[in-house]
């Protein structure tokens, strides 16, 4: 796997530790660096374009993809961050301490039901027998059954969620075979100085569990890194106003876009673009 020179920025993979190789730079075409650049090109890209894609994780194996399109699959998204992080400095800047402002929204918006519905809907369109866990178990049961598996993720959202026997049993009793558990880094908004555009970053991990064995049988990740549509002075107001209505729209929009049939999207990660 290609390794970045030490002096290159490390924001994409540092945020997700061991899963670093999963994440890709998904900035718009004019600002995106391709996956096959040589060393010099990537250095220039880091300097001029403020971002360099990392190598991806292995796509989902065909046998698992086929099984999941034939058997009932539960979809769950959990938000263990519950805050927007406004970061002062360029995206992918050198590893230095930078001011970060945490703006919490979890007392006003539980992202779980709405974002789970998006993933369930989009996965069903891709041919998976996918259904939102909220439609299967109901809101109150989801909260109580997933809490034990998330108890340490509030302090470290990078760690793997835990599929407890109670959650597995509850889903199996409803005829479910697999669980796709989606987690994320939350939204990071990078305040930059001119002439650089502010940048939004969302890192997402996709964990697949076999409900019969409770084993984690596959995982992958994607990074959505884009120039922000909000100007520096108005970003906070646009995202936070009306009980974070702007954030809600942005998150749903980003995850809908993640299912477009193109490279470095969920269909690509699941092996649907060039299945082997």
CATH of the domain at 111: 3.40.50.10610
Res 148: pLDDT: 85
The answer to whether residue 30 sits within a structural domain is: no
For residue 125, give its domain range. 59-269
pTM, two decimal places: 0.78
Q: What are phi and psi of 150, to 5 degrees?
A: -115, 5
Whether residue 195 lies inside any domain: the answer is yes
Q: What whole-number distance in Å separates Cα of residue 128 and Cα of residue 114? A: 19
- Considering the domain boundaries, does residue 258 fall inside one? yes
141, 144, 215, 146: which is closest to 178 by C-alpha? Answer: 215
User: Is residue 126 included in any domain, yes or no?
Assistant: yes
In a domain, 265, yes or no: yes
Determine the Cα–Cα distance for residues 38 and 43; give it in Å rounded to an integer: 9
Number of domains in the chain: 1
List, in order, residues 6 or more apart from 274 with CB less than 8 Å away.
none
Q: What is the pLDDT along the chain (276 residues), one digit of tens a residue?
A: 333 333 222 223 333 333 333 444 444 433 332 333 333 333 333 333 333 333 345 799 999 999 999 999 999 999 999 999 988 876 666 556 678 889 999 999 999 999 999 999 999 999 999 999 999 999 989 999 998 888 767 667 778 899 999 999 999 999 999 999 999 999 999 887 766 788 899 999 999 999 999 999 999 999 999 888 877 667 888 899 899 999 999 999 999 999 999 999 999 999 999 755
Residue 28 counted as domain residue: no
d(Cα 29, Cα 127) in Å, to the nearest integer? 28
In a domain, 46, yes or no: no
H or E element that contains 180: strand 178-184
* Residue 26 falls inside a structural domain: no
Residues 8, 2: contact at Cβ < 8 Å? Answer: no
């Amino acid at each position: 796997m290609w390794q970045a020179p030490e002096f290159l920025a490390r924001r994409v993979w540092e945020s997700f530790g061991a899963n670093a190789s999963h994440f890709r730079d998904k900035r718009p075409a004019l600002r995106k660096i391709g996956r096959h650049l040589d060393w010099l090109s990537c250095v220039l890209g880091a300097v001029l374009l403020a971002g360099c894609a990392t190598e991806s994780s292995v796509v989902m194996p065909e046998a698992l993809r086929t099984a999941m399109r034939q058997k009932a699959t539960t979809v769950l998204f959990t938000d263990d961050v519950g805050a927007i992080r406004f970061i002062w400095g360029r995206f992918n800047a050198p590893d230095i301490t930078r001011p970060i402002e945490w703006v919490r929204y979890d007392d006003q918006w539980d992202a779980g039901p709405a974002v789970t519905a998006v993933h369930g809907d989009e996965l069903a369109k891709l041919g998976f027998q996918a259904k939102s866990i909220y439609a299967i178990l109901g809101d109150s049961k989801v909260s109580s059954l997933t809490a034990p598996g998330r108890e340490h993720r509030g302090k470290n959202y990078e760690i793997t969620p835990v599929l407890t026997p109670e959650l597995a049993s509850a889903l199996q009793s409803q005829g479910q075979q697999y669980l796709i558990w989606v987690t994320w880094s939350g939204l990071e908004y990078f305040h930059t100085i001119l002439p650089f555009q502010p940048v939004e970053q969302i890192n997402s991990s996709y964990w697949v569990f076999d409900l019969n064995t409770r084993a984690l049988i596959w995982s992958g990740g994607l990074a959505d890194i884009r120039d922000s549509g909000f100007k520096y002075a108005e970003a906070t107001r646009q995202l936070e106003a009306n009980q974070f209505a702007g954030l809600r729209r942005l998150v749903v929009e980003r995850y809908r876009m993640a299912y477009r049939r193109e490279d470095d999207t969920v269909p690509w990660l699941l092996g649907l673009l060039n299945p082997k």
